[in-house]
Amino acid sequence: MPKVKVALIGVGNCASAFIQGIQYYSKFSKPQDFVGLRNPILAGLSPKEIEVVAAFDVDERKVGKDLSEAIFALPNIAPKVTNVTTLNVKVNKGPLLDGLGKSSKAIVQVSTTADSNVVKVLKDANAEVMINLLPSGATQASQFYAEQALAAGCAFVNATPNFIASDASWAKRFADAKLPLVGDDLIDQVGSTSLHKTLLKLLSDNGVRIDETYQLDVGGGTESVDTMDRSRDAKRAIKTESVAASIPYKAEVVAGSTDYVDFLQNKRDSYFWISGVYFCNAPMKIDLKFQTVDAPNAGSVLFDVVRAVKLALNKKLTGAVEPVCAYGFKRPPQIVSLEVAEREFAKFIA
């Protein structure tokens, strides 16, 4: 089975979970052993067919190191779930641009190594799919890497909330270059947005009239610091729009990230409040909290998205690939209901 050759932009916590996940699941072959994965096999590919062939970061504790070592270097705090054998892929220094915000500058130690020639590294490694795992506030850097993907002939997966797949001009540029593009803002496997939308839909389907609802997250880790500094408003807009679309009428909806608590480390606390009325105006309230670990929450969806993008490459699809965007991302070019997203993705991979 030919492998999917992937380049990672940003060797942070998500990258750590992704690489550990490839090794962790590589030892299994029977579908029933793949506990924790939504799709053990997708488009004929299992996780061990995903190969990371290039990586870029700016932190001196990661640059120049083998990926197997760099993913466990501070400030990464994603849990270690498996030993990772030497991957023979060195982390390259990328240009910093707006990669770090005010607070994350105090956490990341920027390497003085010269910037590498990104397009050359990608071409030499035969990378087919670039995954953008930069901090959410890295708008210019995300655009810079999208340019490099275009120049190197790579498909682009935008896990960050920066508008790339949902920006018609970027979608056109990838279409013109005959390359697939998916994004924006990866959906978590057991994410607060999906859970919130599912609860609201269940209640609305049963005749409940939702008056008001909010869902707020508190997290640890560098990404939460960066969100506080630079992308809280953008994330709130994306999440609120996505959640509001699951209610078939207008209601008061707020969804977003609120704060950073360092001792939570890679954990995320998600708070939900829903208030509405049902039969003869009887009131109902839901007030709940759930806790997840952040980085592993990206793994299963990223595995699915990468394999679906390989399928898009095989099918010679170009520009924003809507069924993959709607299935795997909070801010696809076109926001559709969960059922439509699931149905279209199932058709796409069938």
Ligand X SMILES: NC(=O)c1ccc[n+]([C@@H]2O[C@H](COP(=O)([O-])OP(=O)(O)OC[C@H]3O[C@@H](n4cnc5c(N)ncnc54)[C@H](O)[C@@H]3O)[C@@H](O)[C@H]2O)c1
| Exposed / middle / buried, residue 101 (Cβ in 10 Å: 0-12, 13-18, 19+) | buried
160: contact with ligand X by CB under 6 A: yes
Binding mask 211-240 for ligand X (x = CB under 6 A): ----------xxx-----------------
H-helix or E-strand spanning residue 41: none
Q: Does residue 296 have a cis peptide bond before it, meaning omega lies within 30 degrees of 0?
A: no
Tell me phi and psi for residue 210, to 5 degrees.
-75, 130
Question: Which DSSP symbol is given to 115?
Answer: P
Q: CB-wise, 205 or 262, nearer to ligand X?
A: 262
Q: How far is CA 230 from CA 98, 103, 132, 195, 233, in A?
A: 11, 10, 17, 25, 8
Binding mask 20-49 for ligand X (x = CB under 6 A): ------------------------------
Residue 1 Cβ, how far from ligand X at the closest point, in Å?
27
Q: Does 58 bind ligand X (CB under 6 A)?
A: yes
313 touches ligand X (CB under 6 A): no
Q: Which tokens go with 260?
A: 């950073």
| Whether residue 184 has a cis bond before it, omega within 30° of 0 | yes
Beta strand 282-293 pairing with 267-278: antiparallel
Q: What is the nearest approach in angstroms of ligand X to the Cβ of residue 271?
A: 17
Footprint of ligand X on 162-201 (CB under 6 A): 185-186, 188
Q: In whole angstroms, how close is the CB of 49 to ligand X at the nearest point?
A: 22
3-state SS assignment for residue 316 = coil
- Based on its alpha-carbon atoms, the radius of gyration of the chain, rounded to whole angstroms, reads 20
Q: According to CB under 6 A, which one of 63, 159, 165, 320 is a site residue for ligand X?
A: 159
Cβ nearer to ligand X, comparing 161 with 276: 161
- Which positions touch ligand X (CB under 6 A)? 9-14, 56-59, 94-97, 99-100, 108, 133-136, 138, 141, 159-161, 185-186, 188, 221-223, 294-295, 297-298
